[in-house]
Every structure is written in structure tokens, then in C-alpha cells.
Structure 1
Amino acid sequence: MCGRYAMAYSSDELPQQFAHYDIDIKAPEKHYDKSYNVAPTNVSAVYRPKDDVLKYMKWGLVPHWTKDTVNFKSFRTFNAREESLKSSRMWSQCCNHKRCVIPISGYYEWKTDGRSKTPFYVTRKDGRLMFLAGMYDYVEKDDLYTYTIITGNAPAELKWLHERMPVVLELGSDSWNDWLSDKNKWTQEELDKVLETSFSEETMKCYQVSNDVGKVSVNGDYLTKPVFKQEKDIKQEELQFKEQGPKRNEQRLKKGEHSPRKGHIQTKEEKPNPKKRDIVQMLSPRKKQCH
């Protein structure tokens, strides 16, 4: 699935990124900020070849025949399964007539291990945009544009992360051209070929990121940074303590002791005891005082 992604460019900056691919498109009149934590029901950029101006839509597809768009549960339609596009009433018409791609900087996916979930970030190594296969719809009475992201079975290279992944289209490829063409009828075999998932280790990378990405209210480019870079501030002394064992370290910390330097022998300083008499003094006779 794909339930969270990053878009590192605002609506004013995004057309410049499209220009790198020789796509001429203008920014919308309304300004939209960049976001490193785009979530379902948020508004983000969608590309359709017929548009001269970049279109921003709400994530979570609302069908055009919906009577009550306010109460429609669009958070359930932010993804569409590739294998159900033809058979589903929700998706079939959009698949035939309302196809698009969603530009992103990268997407987040959570790896499940028992009860714990760890977020990872998938992005291009060259830092360029990724384009996800999607579909959109329009509810005329409410002037509402919405979209969904298509997912498929993850390839072998990403099965360790999640069983599914969004369909990534390479600009200029046959899949890109077919998906954004005027074709209005598809066989399942054709869809399987055009929307085949892939992950190339030569062009893509995947790494663990901060758990903060799970909070919709949190934003910032640090969400896309590898977490292991935050571990470089560990002190050498702490590393030595770990090697010597937790119990001994705990005792030293409680007593306020420091780790001895290598090659240095610690000696215990004995304080004089005024009550303790030397054995020689006890056996020797006392001198008589002269008057």
C-alpha cells in the first residue's frame, strides 16, 4: 500500500522540476506549500497531459456519482489495487477515462515485525521526481477533484518491506505512454503489463526514517533523512561501558567511578587511623620523665 509520501516542492517550484523532463506546465494561481508528510485527504499535485496548468486534488477518490461528498469516506479510497481495476465499479470507469500520474519525492512504507512497525523511505538515488500511476474523478456539483494511487504486488527486492507497493512509471517508457494515452478499453493482461511494479537498486534506494512520520501533524525535511545519521553523537566512553557489561557499568555510575585508563593500575589510598597503635610502640618500655 501507499499511505504517506513526500513532495519537496511547492506549487511554484514544481513546474521547474517538470521542465527537466521537457514537460511544459504552469503553476496554479493558488499557492500550495511543499510537504514531507502528505497523507490521505490532503491536497497534492496531479499531472494530466491535457492540462496546461498543474492540477491540485484531494487524495482519496470520491466517485462522480457520489451524492454526499462531505460524509464520503475517502480515506478508504486512497489506494486502488491493480488487479481489481476492471472488476470494481469504483475503479473501472476511471481506469478507462480518467488516468493520471502523481509526482512525488519519495514514499513511506512501514515494515511490520510482530506488534512493532518501522517506517522506511523509498526514493530515487539522483533526487529527481518519481511518478506514481493514479486515477482521478470529479464531482461537478461540489467542484471536487480527487485522486487515488494504484498499487500492485511488490517485487522480490521489496517483499521484505511490504507485500505491496505503488506502481512507479518511468517517464518516456512504454508504460508511461500507454497509461497516459487515450486508450479507453483494457484487458487484464494489458493492465498487468503496463502497471507492473519494479524496484531497481541501481536507481532507487530504501532506508529507515524517523517514527515521527507516523504523526500526520508533523512535517519537515528531516522526516526523509536516514535515522542512522543521528547516532554519530554517541560518546566513546559510552561505547566502552557497553563493552564492559551493563551490571559493572551500573555499579560504577552509582559509585561515581570512572573507567580506568589502559595500562594504569589503581591503588587504594589508606588513611591513618588514630586509634590504631603500632605494635613496636606497644612492646617498648615507656621512658620515665625526669623531675
Structure 2
Amino acid sequence: MCGRFIDPNLRGTETELSQIRVDPFPRRFNIKPTEEVLILGRRPDQAQRARWWLVPSWHRGTLAEWKATTFNARIEEAAGKPSFKGAWRYGRCLIPAGGYYEWTGTRGAKQPHAILPAGNAETLYFAGLYSLWQDLMTCTILTRAAGPDTAALHPRMPVILDPEERDAWLSGSEAPDLGAGARLRHHPVARFGLHDDGPQLLEPFDAA
């Protein structure tokens, strides 16, 4: 799953914010569901802000009345789920991230871990879906079974796409192995609260 993630640093990349006509966020290191995030369409100038918690276009109640947990969607199931199947067909996007967090341990003593790109890459590109509900753009992050780099932390992980997979995803691919080759690194970090933020959240912590 993915319940907290980190804004990407897109300066100097092919999707640099100065080129995509979206006002940049001050970089955040503790993004939570229902907050605004950046999503990318098939071209950089299709970048938009979206609320991270998808609401399908057919929802007729208020925002507060949408109770389903839809900030993540299983890639194995999304195409057939009423909440996601419209976005699966018409709302493919990428959600860039600098990394994300997972927690291990028992309730009340959970240890957070920062999960970051391996190698020289700074940005992860999550497979996402978007839905325009009334005048509000909303989105979800696709998840898959965890790969070997993170399976010890959690059985699920975001679908993280390489450059070829990004194009395939946006073009409608339903390949079952999307994101299977993602390489990641991780380390424990100090426990942090709901409203804590800043690059210090990524500093390695000696859990012993």
C-alpha cells in the first residue's frame, strides 16, 4: 500500500515544473491522503493538481459522503471495481514521488521506514488513475505485490514504472507485470507525527 509519500524534486528533469505550467508545491515530506498532489498525463503540459483520494464521477452525494477508501487501488482488481473502472479506461496518469513510507512492528510501537529510489534516480513514477468529480480532480495510486526490495516491510507497494512502462501505462497497457522490475532502497527513520514535515524525516534512524 501507500499511505504517505514524498514530493519529487523535478528540477532538471524532463518534467521540470517550470515547463509544465503548474505552480510548484513547497516540497513536502509527509503527504497524506486528501491532500493535493501533482499528476502527469501523456504530455508534461497536461500536469494538474489532484486530491489524493479518488471520487468516481458518478458519485451523487457530497464529498464528505464518499466513505470508500480509494486513495490506493489494487492493479489486479481496479479494472473491474465500480469505483475505478471508469478511470481505468479514461483516466490514466503518473504520480511522481521522491519516495514513500511503510511501517513495521506492533500497534503503538510501529517503526517507519523511508523507501527511496535505488541508484542515481531521484524520482519514482507511480501508476495512477484520476477522476473528475464535479469540479474537483481526484486521484488514486495503484499498488501491486511487493518486490524483493520491500517485501520484508509490507506485502504491497506502489506500481512504480520505468520510462517504457510509463508510456505503456498511459497508452492503456494491462500487462500484469507492470512495475515488477522497480529497484528500491530503504532505511528506518525516526517516528513522526501527522503534521511533521521537512527533509529531516528522511534521516536514517538507529532503531536499536
- Cα separation, 2, equivalents of 1:209 and 1:160: 16
The structure whose Rg is larger is: 1
| Alpha-carbon spacing, 1:106–1:75, altered in 2? closer, same or farther (3 Å) | farther
Given that 1:40 and 1:75 are in contact with CA atoms closer than 8 Å, whether structure 2 keeps it comes out as no
Matched, 1:162 2:119: no
| Alpha-carbon spacing, 1:112–1:72, altered in 2? closer, same or farther (3 Å) | farther
What SS does the aligned partner of 2:56 have? Answer: coil
| Alpha-carbon spacing, 1:216–1:74, altered in 2? closer, same or farther (3 Å) | farther
- Cα separation, 2, equivalents of 1:65 and 1:50: 27
Question: Counting strand residues as a fraction of each chain, which structure ranks higher?
Answer: 2
Aligned sequence identity (%): 28
- Cα separation, 1, equivalents of 2:154 and 2:27: 27
Given that 1:5 and 1:107 are in contact with CA atoms closer than 8 Å, whether structure 2 keeps it comes out as yes
Given that 1:41 and 1:74 are in contact with CA atoms closer than 8 Å, whether structure 2 keeps it comes out as no
Residue aligning to 2:127:
133
The residue identity in structure 1 corresponding to 2:37 is S
Figure out how many residues of one structure are paired with residues of the other and give that number. 207
Residue aligning to 2:6:
6
- Structure 2 unaligned spans of 5+: none
Question: Which is bigger in relative contact order (C-alpha 8 A, separation at least 6)?
Answer: 2
Residue aligning to 2:180:
197
Residue among 196, 205, 208 paired with 1:227: 205
- Cα separation, 1, equivalents of 2:8 and 2:96: 10
- Cα separation, 1, equivalents of 2:83 and 2:8: 31
Given that 1:61 and 1:137 are in contact with CA atoms closer than 8 Å, whether structure 2 keeps it comes out as yes
| Alpha-carbon spacing, 1:108–1:74, altered in 2? closer, same or farther (3 Å) | farther
What SS does the aligned partner of 2:61 have? Answer: coil
- Cα separation, 2, equivalents of 1:78 and 1:178: 22
Residue aligning to 1:108:
101
What SS does the aligned partner of 2:13 have? Answer: helix
- Structure 1 unaligned spans of 5+: 232-291
- Cα separation, 1, equivalents of 2:62 and 2:16: 37
- Cα separation, 1, equivalents of 2:167 and 2:107: 41
The residue identity in structure 1 corresponding to 2:100 is Y
What SS does the aligned partner of 1:192 have? Answer: coil
- Normalising by structure 2, we get a TM-score of 0.88
What SS does the aligned partner of 2:161 have? Answer: coil
What SS does the aligned partner of 1:211 have? Answer: coil
What SS does the aligned partner of 1:36 have? Answer: coil
Given that 2:162 and 2:182 are in contact with CA atoms closer than 8 Å, whether structure 1 keeps it comes out as no
Residue among 107, 118, 123 paired with 2:111: 118
Cα displacement string for residues 259-279 of structure 1 (whole angstroms, at most 9, x for unaligned residues): xxxxxxxxxxxxxxxxxxxxx
Given that 1:62 and 1:74 are in contact with CA atoms closer than 8 Å, whether structure 2 keeps it comes out as no
